[in-house]
Amino acid sequence: MTQIRLHVNNQAINAISPISIAELVALNQLGSEGTAIACNNTIISKQEWATTYLKDNDSLDVFTLVAGG
Amino acid sequence: MLTHQEIKRYSRQLLLDDIDEEGQRNIANAHVVIIGLGGLGSVAARYLIGAGVAAQCKARATAPSCEGKLTLVDGDTVDVSNLQRQTSYNEMHLGELKTNALKSELQKVNPHANIELKSRFADSKNLHTIIQNATCVLDCTDNVTVRKAINKVCVSAKVPLFIASASGLTWQAININSALNESGCYHCLVSHIKVNENCISQGILGPVVGMAACHQATQVLLYLAKKAHANIKWGHYIHADAAQGKMQSFFLPPSANCEVCQ
Ligand SMILES: [Zn+2]
C-alpha cells in the first residue's frame, strides 16, 4: 500500500494504491449516467474500469457523453 | 478543370493547400449522406452545399462525369421550437418536412446541386439502402439507438462516419473509419454506458450545437478533398465545453470484444 497522486479533471487528489478506476469512481462518487473516463488521454471502456489500476501521476478526465443533435 | 465560375465561387477555399483544385473536384464528386436535419444536419448541410458538395454539372454539360450527390434523411417537420438553433429554417417552413424545407433553402445557394431526399427516419432496417455508395456519412441524429444503428452499418460497409452531438453547453464529436482498423467505433464508446439522450430535457443553446455542426462540416470537407491524405484525426473523441472555451481530444481504442468492429 503506497500513496499515489492522481489528477482528476485537473485537480490533484491522493489515493492509496492499488486502486482501480472503478474503485476510484465509487470512492469519489465520480460516476453517474453517461459517464465516460479517459486515462492519460485514452478512453477506458467502462467494462475495463474494474481491471484498470492507476499509477502515480495518472491523469483522468471524467465527462458525460451526450447524444443530442 | 474547374470552370471560371467555379473558380470564382470557391476561390476562398481553393487557396487552401488542404483543398485546392483537385480537392474541389473531389468535393463535387462525392456522395455525402446527412442523417438527421436538426441543429447539426441543417447547419452542416448549408456549409457542405456552400463548399461545392453535390455541385452538379448541369451548369457545364461538357464535363464527363459528375457523381456528386447530397442525400438528406429525416422524417420530421419544422416546429417553431427548432428555429432557435436550426438556422436554415424560418417561419415560412413551419409544418413542412425538413427535407423539403432544407432542399429549397440549399437550392437558393446552389440551384444546380444534386440533392436527394429521403423523408423518413433512419432505422436499422432502411440504413443499408440509405448509405449505399456513400463516400461518407454524417450522423446528425439525436438518440443513441439510431446512432448505434448508423455506426453498425457504416463500420460493416467501411464507410467513413462523422459523428457529432450536443447537449447543454457541451458538444462532442468523433470521426470513425473502420477501414483503417486503428481505433474503436461508437459501439466501443457507448456499450455498457447508459447515455442520457434527451437534448430537450437537458436544454441546448443554439450556437453550441452549431459549433458541433461546423466541426463536422470542416472534417467532412477536409476528408472529401484529400481522402486518405486528409489532415484529420480518426478515432479521437472530442469533448468541448462551450462555456469555458475548452476542447479536449481523447483516443478511443478498439474494445477487445466489441460486437460491431471486432
Ligand atoms: Zn467497436
The model's pLDDT over B59-107, given as tens digits with 9 standing for 90+, comes to 455 555 568 999 999 999 999 999 999 999 999 999 999 999 999 999 9
Give me the pLDDT at residue B67, please.
80
Cα–Cα distance measured from residue B257 to residue B235, given in angstroms and rounded to the nearest whole number: 17
Q: Where is pLDDT greater, at B209 or B192?
A: B209
Q: Where are the domains of chain B?
A: 4-251
From residue A52, give the alpha-carbon distance in Å to each of A19, A37, A55, B180, B258: 8, 11, 10, 26, 18
ipTM of the complex: 0.96
Does residue B29 surpass a pLDDT of 60?
yes
Mean pLDDT of A14-26: 96
Cα–Cα distance measured from residue A23 to residue B38, given in angstroms and rounded to the nearest whole number: 39
Architecture of domain B4-251: 3-Layer(aba) Sandwich (3.40)
Question: Hey, which residues 100-159 in chain B have their CB within 8 Å of chain A?
Answer: 140-144, 147
Residues of B in contact with A69 (CB under 8 A): 36, 38-41, 140-142, 164-166, 199, 209, 212
Q: Verify whether the Cβ–Cβ distance B253 to A41 is below 8 Å.
A: no
CA dihedral B239, B243, B245, B249 (to 10 degrees): -10
pLDDT in tens, B148-183: 999 999 999 999 999 999 999 999 999 999 999 899
Average pLDDT of chain B? Answer: 94
- Cα separation of the two ends of chain A: 46
* B239 bridge partner residues: B172, B248
pTM (two decimals): 0.96
Does residue B221 surpass a pLDDT of 80?
yes
Inform me whether the C-beta atom of residue B248 falls under 8 Å from chain A C-beta atoms.
yes
Residues of A in contact with B195 (CB under 8 A): 33-34, 65-67
The dihedral built from the CA positions of residue B153, B157, B158 and B159, taken in this order, carries a sign that is negative
CB-based neighbours (< 5 A) of ligand 1, an ion: B 184-185, 187-188, 258, 260-261
Please enumerate residues of A whose Cβ is less than 8 A from a Cβ of B: 33-36, 38, 41-43, 45-47, 61, 63-69
